[in-house]
Structure 1
């Protein structure tokens, strides 16, 4: 198997894990609060990585002696991302949250122009314009069909906040991986938010959970660990723009799952079916994101 194929398959695994993640988190939110779900995901992922580094690579933990401040900021931003996303999911639904969070990759592509003085080309501008039009179409149409308008707006804003937080995290992570082991970074990026969320976590939420609900929470925590693990492998084996485009398309998996649920007798989660206008808006947003990211990476290749 070629390295390129390994990278593409690894990116596909990440996309699939994230595609199912939104649906299963919505199920978990019926039994456990948003902060508690986020804390559990961070704690489980950080705990597993801490155990790994203590046993296998204890010397790398010496990073704490000269802890980089931007790693702390990156961790806080990822914490905000998780909280923003899960509250967005709580107030809207998997389909909406997955579409709106794609603002993140678009902002990341824009950051190269704003902060790294990269040249913008007409294709990037076209992609940004298409994405904005798609987002407005999607928002306006979804808003008109949503029963609780205030709740939808809260969810939309929370998810937008999550996208901005993820962009800052990604920019800082990009700088950090050039110097540090990616999984070592993840240990602190998961561990710091877990500690910060602890005072706000109501541990009574975990009382009286059924076995299947614990299994669901464990899966959500492992999803965090494995999704980012396969993402690191994807970046190792193939070009970054290919990985980014595959990841951007992960909402399609969520939309398909929610549509299937809508047409079945499943009762443990409410299915969703987008109207033609909302679906068209979502398609424009994803298309614009793909164009923006693809030509952002092509632009970097020319500059280098």
Structure 2
């Protein structure tokens, strides 16, 4: 059963990585007809509604958590809400490829949080991983900034939004790590989606939804399902296999984005902005991803999660 369980965990993690790999591309296209907040609101509302109906039908008692959610769950929900908006705004100002590479600072920061707050010990190989990722991020940022020299302000704005999203994701993940010890993961996800959905409602451009194309509606449904399925599979992946294996697989999702964007560039599509990476930018991207993977892989906290 151990091997079967492990294979299940790896399978679910691959699904999450695959969905997150294509996510920024569809987010970028959806911005052609909707603003960032409206898109983020739809994703949260769609995912919350599905989970709410699920618990309403299967176990109404679980919905009691909505009346009095734990304080750290509220904070985690706020953090996730800012994470979604930060990543969305970052994609708005730059490209999906850039957003995915920059976002890899999140697992690095999460590892550092483990050291500072959870008293996890850093080993030499992890430190090397951090150093590699830091050098890679500097190299990638420097060369991509030169590539966007005519619109450097937009690139820097996108960079800052994504970094804000990364920091907020770390806060969410650190709190979620504590919450899953007491509550079912999907029940937590329902609240995590519901609170941002409510908070973003006053800022949504509802009139825009009446004028968008069928294609954009299909993209929105995909984005909602992506939110629901990716995080659901992530929780199952942690349930069936070790956390470090899940993190390793998910950390490689930018490779999917880079390959997809390269294919779109080769096809010379007109419906999304593609950017060609210089050899130095590619080297920086490899170092960022490789450094993040090294830091995660050599973590001493390679224990199976209790999700």
Corresponding residue number in structure 2 for 1:150: 153
From 236, 241, 245, give the equivalent of 1:242.
Answer: 245
Equivalent runs, 1:28-39 vs 2, <5 Å = 28-39=30-41
Query: What's the TM-score once normalised by structure 2's chain length?
Result: 0.95
Corresponding residue number in structure 1 for 2:82: 80
Cα deviation, residue 210, structure 1:
1.5
Corresponding residue number in structure 2 for 1:204: 207
Cα deviation, residue 296, structure 1:
1.8
Corresponding residue number in structure 1 for 2:50: 48
Instruction: Point out the more displaced range, 286-295 or 172-181.
Output: 286-295
Partner SS state of residue 277, structure 2:
coil
* Runs of at least 4 residues off by over 6 Å: none
Instruction: Point out the more displaced range, 214-223 or 290-299.
Output: 290-299
| Residue pair 2:242, 2:302 contacting (<8 A) in 1 also | no
Equivalent runs, 1:1-304 vs 2, <5 Å = 2-146=4-148, 147-298=150-301
Cα deviation code 1:123-142 (max 9, x no counterpart): 11111111110000000000
Cα deviation, residue 272, structure 1:
2.3
Tell me how far apart the structure 2 counterparts of residues 198 and 63 of structure 1 sit (CA, whole Å): 21
Cα deviation, residue 9, structure 1:
1.2
Cα deviation code 1:199-226 (max 9, x no counterpart): 1111122121111211110110110000
Tell me how far apart the structure 1 counterparts of residues 296 and 114 of structure 2 sit (CA, whole Å): 10
For the aligned residue pairs, the C-alpha RMSD in angstroms reads: 1.3
Tell me how far apart the structure 1 counterparts of residues 142 and 88 of structure 2 sit (CA, whole Å): 22
Aligned length: 301
Change beyond 3 A, Cα 1:299–1:212? closer
| Residue pair 1:87, 1:159 contacting (<8 A) in 2 also | yes
Instruction: Point out the more displaced range, 259-268 or 157-166.
Output: 259-268
Partner SS state of residue 182, structure 2:
coil
Change beyond 3 A, Cα 1:158–1:210? same
Cα deviation, residue 299, structure 1:
6.7
| Residue pair 2:121, 2:300 contacting (<8 A) in 1 also | no
Gaps of 5+ in 2: none
Query: What's the TM-score once normalised by structure 1's chain length?
Result: 0.96
Tell me how far apart the structure 2 counterparts of residues 45 and 128 of structure 1 sit (CA, whole Å): 34
Cα deviation code 1:218-247 (max 9, x no counterpart): 110110000011111111111110100100
Cα deviation code 1:28-69 (max 9, x no counterpart): 011110110000000000001011111111111122354200
Tell me how far apart the structure 2 counterparts of residues 70 and 251 of structure 1 sit (CA, whole Å): 30
Tell me how far apart the structure 1 counterparts of residues 215 and 158 of structure 2 sit (CA, whole Å): 27
Tell me how far apart the structure 1 counterparts of residues 40 and 303 of structure 2 sit (CA, whole Å): 35
Cα deviation, residue 273, structure 1:
2.0
Instruction: Point out the more displaced range, 242-251 or 209-218.
Output: 209-218
